[in-house]
Each structure stands twice: as C-alpha cells, then as structure tokens.
Structure 1
Amino acid sequence: MRSVVKGVGGYLPDRIVTNQDLAQIVDTSDEWITARTGIRERRIAADGELTSAMGLAAAKAALADAGLEPGEIDLIVLATSTPDQTFPATAVTIQAELGITDGAAFDVQAVCSGFVFAMSTADNYLKSGQFKRALVIGAEAFSRILDWEDRATCVLFGDGAGAWVLEAERLNGTMADRGILATSLRSDGRYRDKLYVDGGPSSTGTVGHLRMDGPEVFRHAVTKISQVIGETLDKAGYTASDIDWFVPHQANKRILDGAARKLGLDPERVVMTVEKHANTSAASIPLALMTACSDGRIKKGDLVLLEAMGGGFTWGALLIRW
C-alpha cells in the first residue's frame, strides 16, 4: 500500500512586500537582505485574512487538480505554527468550510518541518488502511508573530499555503515504485531556544514574537539536513545521484546551496522559490512544489526529495516517486 499524490494546490496573498518596502520601516536594505538570504520579496496576508482561509484556498486548488470533491476526503492534516485560535484545530475549520462531516481533521505543529511531519503522519494513516484519501496542508500567517523592529527576523518570512491530495493505492509490479517511498523525522529539544516564539497560553498568556539565533540555526541546518536525507535515501535504496528534483524548505538561499553542494546535486535540480516567497514555514515546500509542477519541471515518474528543518529543532526528509 502506497500513498500517491493525486493533486497539488497553493495560495499566496495579494500583498507583495519588497525589500525596498522593508527598508522604509527597519534599518536594512535590499542589498543586505538579498546577499544574506536570497530573498527579494514576500507575500503578507491582508488584515482579517486567516490561516484557515489561506489553507482552504490551497485545499480547493489541490482538490480541483485531483478532480475530486471534498466529500471524497476522509482525513485532513494541517501543518501550521500560526493557527486561527489556540483551539480548536484550524484543520477542523477547513473541514467545515469544505462541507466534510466524516473522517478526521487535526493540526500538526513542527514549525518549518511541519509539512514533512504532516505528510509522514498522513502516509502512515493511509498505508494502515485507516483512511483512504487525505488533504495535507501547510498554511502560515507568520507576519502575525514577527517583531517588525527586528531586522534579523522580520525580513525572512512570508505568508501563504500549499496543499496536496494523497490517496492510498495498492501497487504491484512496475507500479510499486510510486508514491511516498520513505520518510525520516527527527527532533532535539536541546536547541528549542535557538528558534522560538516568546509567548504562549501557559507561559505569558500572549501570542509573542519570533526570536532566532541565526548563526546557530545556520550552523546546524546543513549538517542535520544532510544526515536525514542520507537516512531517507538509504531506506528506499537510492543515492543522491538518482534524484530528479530536490524541493527543500525555502529558508535561506545559502542553506539551500550548502545542502545541495553536500549532496553533490546540480543546482539546476534544486527547486528554489525563496526569492519570491521568502520563508513561509510549513507552507514553503508545497508552494515550491506547486510552482515546479505548474511550470512543467516535475513530471510523472520523477524522483523527488523533500527536506526541512525548523524550530525545536525539528527536521525531516521525504522521498516520493511522482
């Protein structure tokens, strides 16, 4: 039994904020941001535009791409660190808006690694036979938790959502090498104070703002990403040279370039959207993949590698035959 991708979709808010725009409100410049991150612009959610609304738009696009109706979905797993409310889960809001009354819906919180964690979770439910079809969504409104006076962090993030439709299929013969082939997930709470939000219901009773020790995150990122990628490839019996497309979490161009070099991957095989989207946390991988599908780069039969690292630290990788 394999989890096979049936459709992909995404959503980006209308408002574009460029590096030049940010230079008007914080001590920075387009040159400073671009040189250190590769980011030139990001999308910011409109006032009143919720994480659930962005996730819903991405989910509808993925369902349309799959040619399915909402009622054919029996599982929704939403990766987000910026839910509409402390509870209920934002996934149930999307479930209700889609008119789905059967199955289950819940959120997964692993920050920037969230989409990989959510995919692995849905994959295990589908392979076990507990559910038939899943919507896996990454949706974030990170602009709501940024300190817009902190130039080290406010320039890095954007808002948006991406979604995939997965379906459980029993594959045989040559078709057995399709769908999700392997996943690896890791976390190490010793590093939780390197990337965190300084608020929460049980600590301060406030939402808080994102705080990051950038050099420490960068120092750990390439090594941890490379290790978990190696584990994932080994599980599936592949090597880095077999990869058709590398779709990493869009955190920082220098991190992406470093990971690709360590794997020995041709830069042309790396899908990179950080320049236009910035870091959209759990939404970055599905948005990047949607872009590469829309422009024709990723085709049926391609071997695609996903990876991410986020606060916690959490990190993980997933290998899929498209």
Structure 2
Amino acid sequence: MLNSKAKLTALGTYVPERILTNADLEKLVDTSDEWIVQRTGMRERRIAAEDQYVSDLCIQAITRMINLYNVNINDVDMIIVATSTPDYYFPSTASRIQAHFNIPDTGSMDVSAACAGFAYGLHLANGLITGGLHRKVLVVGAETLSKITDYTDRTTCVLFGDGAGVALVEYDEDEGSFLAADIGTYGQGGAHLYRAGLSNYLDGEKLQDHGFIAQNGREVYKWAVRSVPTGIERLLNQADMKKEDLDWFVPHSANLRMIESICERSIIPLEETLTSVEFYGNTSAASIPLALQCGLDDGRLRHGQHVILYGFGGGLTYAGLLLKWSVPDL
C-alpha cells in the first residue's frame, strides 16, 4: 500500500452549454439514435463554442470548485493540466490558468496522456506532495475534442465531446487518499489512436494527416478489455483489498459497451460503476472527473468510500488509482 501524504479536498467540473444529440448527428452523417445507443450507450455530448477553448473550460471548472467548496488557490504551488487539445503548443494551458487566477508562486505544466491524463495528473500530484516537493496541487483534465473531430466520419464523430474537471490535492500528514497505483504503457499500439503532428509516420506506418482524431476502435477495445481487468487486480492486491471492499469503479468513459465488458471480466457490477458517457460522450481526460461529479450530484459517492479510477487511451497508456475518497460531503 502506498504511504501517501496527499489528500483530495475539492472537485469542480464544467461542460459547455451546447448539446449535440444523436438526433443532431443523424442530420450530419448516415447514423441513427438506435445505432449509436446500441454500440456506445451515448445519447448526448457537449460542444464548446467556436471561440471557447480548453483553458476557458478549465477556468470555469476551477471557479465552480472554489465557489462550491470555499477553497483558496492562491497558495497552490503546482498546476497540472492533462489535455490533448491545448489552446497552443506553448504556452501551456497550465500557465494560462496561472495567469487568469494570478497565482503568485506556482509551477505549471501540461501532461499528454490522452484519456489516462487525469489519473496520471493525480498520480504526479501524489508523488510531488508525498515526496515533500509541493504541498498544494491543482490537477485538471480538460478537452475540446469537438475541435479535432471529423464530423463527416460517422465512426468517430458520434463519440467525442468537450468538458473539464479539476481536483485540489493537498498535503495531509495523517490521511493520504492514495492507496495504490497501476501505471503503464503499450506504446506498440500507438497507431491505433492518434492525431498526426510534425511527423506523419508512426512505427513506419503512414498516418492520416487531416488534423482530426484517427482511431482503430476495434483494436483499442480489445486492448482495454484485456488490460484493465488485470490492472484492477493489481491495484487491489497492492492494497490488500478484495472487490467486496470496493465501493465504486470509475473508468474512463470511452464507450458504455466497453465498460460493460470490463466490468464483466472484472466481476464488478455495472451498478457499482460511475460513468459520464451517456450525456457527455467520450471527453478523454475530462471523463473521470465528470463521472465523479455525477456520483457526487446524486449522492452515491460519499466521503470515506473506496474508489478505483482507471484511465486508458492514446499512447496506448493506462493509469489506475485506488483512492479513499476524501472530498468532503456537501
């Protein structure tokens, strides 16, 4: 079990106002509500305005967290933003957050781990705090995937949405939230999920250089369903816990059918799983905090419960965390 001295103390989320329904998508591509729901479980997703970028979503989520939990972020000493859709290559999204809130003495960095990004950010925050280097860290997962989605491709355009979530992680000598971690990479599968950049080749394979997300959904599905259940076992073994000790499983909300398969192989009831997929779609790094918010909003997620967060996606990367939920009940 990890000897953590880092504790989650607040959570905030934000999604844009515009809703893109399955009926809306029927007007764009050859698809149907029945087809989308049957294969993904998705009904709606939120879409950022044309002049709304990922830093704007981050700022809204942080502002909501401040107002909801009455926390002070002026003494935050590190900002970590997980995103695949930054406003700029540089400056970092984290530095734009620092500028907006005028936080005086803080480091800032963006993390590129795609759909595993939020869990990676929390893992980094725990290490920085437990190691004594920092005491108060903002961890943000945010995406504007609609800006890199091809709305003529029915295999991808039905999947993705926009949103942001933030957690405040603070030093606590006696009660750390982090019980176990399972972090890894299958880089050989990188060509199954990508957006081309300065290089248009990956492991010798020519990439689609159209500026949009490209995905081999079948291969990503097979990898996730195979690897996540074994990762869950490793987390429980590290903490000397059984599945019966777990209150909630919070996977990346990639696709409800994928989550159902992971739950079936992991022997975790779907009723003990928190997701954000039905009304927000796949929001990559934002999907786990949005799912946590859903659990908080309806009173299912409570202080002191045991929760597994498990992100997986582009890279191919994965990051699982076993937490004792320490955000105060409101």
TM-score, with structure 1 as normaliser: 0.95
> What secondary structure does 1:317 align onto?
strand
Amino acid at match of 2:8: V
> What secondary structure does 2:307 align onto?
strand
Tell me what 2:110 maps to. Answer: 107
Amino acid at match of 1:200: G
Tell me what 1:140 maps to. Answer: 143
The answer for unaligned runs of 5 or more in structure 2 is: 202-208, 326-330
Distance 1:286 1:24 in 2: 31
Q: Does 1:26 align with 2:24?
A: no
> What secondary structure does 1:285 align onto?
helix
Name which of structure 1's ranges 265-274 and 212-221 shifts more when overlaid on structure 2.
265-274
Amino acid at match of 1:218: Y
Distance 1:108 1:68 in 2: 24
Offset of residue 264 of structure 1:
1.4
Tell me what 1:179 maps to. Answer: 177
Offset of residue 203 of structure 1:
4.5
Amino acid at match of 1:44: I
Tell me what 1:309 maps to. Answer: 312
Q: Does 1:240 align with 2:243?
A: yes
Q: Deviations over 1:100-158 (max 9, x none)?
A: 12121100001011111111011100111111111100010000111111100010010
> What secondary structure does 2:299 align onto?
coil
Tell me what 1:194 maps to. Answer: 192
Tell me what 1:39 maps to. Answer: 42
In 2, are the aligned partners of 1:16 and 1:44 still within 8 Å (CA)? yes
Give RMSD over aligned pairs.
Answer: 1.4
Q: Deviations over 1:237-287 (max 9, x none)?
A: 112221101111101011111111122122221112211010000000001
In 2, are the aligned partners of 1:241 and 1:265 still within 8 Å (CA)? no
Summarize the Cα distance change of 1:315–1:185 in structure 2 as closer, same or farther, 3 Å threshold. Answer: same
Q: Does 1:226 align with 2:226?
A: no
Offset of residue 193 of structure 1:
0.6
Match of 2:121 among 118, 122, 126: 118
Amino acid at match of 1:142: L
Q: Percent sequence identity over matched residues?
A: 41
Tell me what 1:151 maps to. Answer: 154
Q: Does 1:5 align with 2:8?
A: yes
Distance 2:246 2:159 in 1: 28
Tell me what 2:52 maps to. Answer: 49
Q: Does 1:320 align with 2:323?
A: yes
Tell me what 2:328 maps to. Answer: none
Amino acid at match of 1:193: A
Distance 1:256 1:182 in 2: 21
Q: Deviations over 1:267-314 (max 9, x none)?
A: 221112211010000000001101111221111110011112101111
Tell me what 2:170 maps to. Answer: 167
Match of 1:85 among 85, 88, 91: 88
Match of 1:295 among 287, 295, 298: 298
The answer for unaligned runs of 5 or more in structure 1 is: none
Match of 2:266 among 263, 268, 271: 263
Count of matched residue pairs: 315
Distance 1:123 1:65 in 2: 23
Distance 1:165 1:217 in 2: 31
Tell me what 2:97 maps to. Answer: 94
> What secondary structure does 1:71 align onto?
coil
In 2, are the aligned partners of 1:54 and 1:160 still within 8 Å (CA)? yes
TM-score, with structure 2 as normaliser: 0.92
Distance 1:207 1:96 in 2: 32
In 1, are the aligned partners of 2:276 and 2:288 still within 8 Å (CA)? no
Name which of structure 1's ranges 214-223 and 259-268 shifts more when overlaid on structure 2.
259-268
Q: Does 1:217 align with 2:220?
A: yes
Amino acid at match of 2:264: R
Amino acid at match of 2:151: W
Tell me what 1:272 maps to. Answer: 275
In 2, are the aligned partners of 1:243 and 1:303 still within 8 Å (CA)? yes
Offset of residue 190 of structure 1:
0.6
Distance 2:86 2:166 in 1: 16
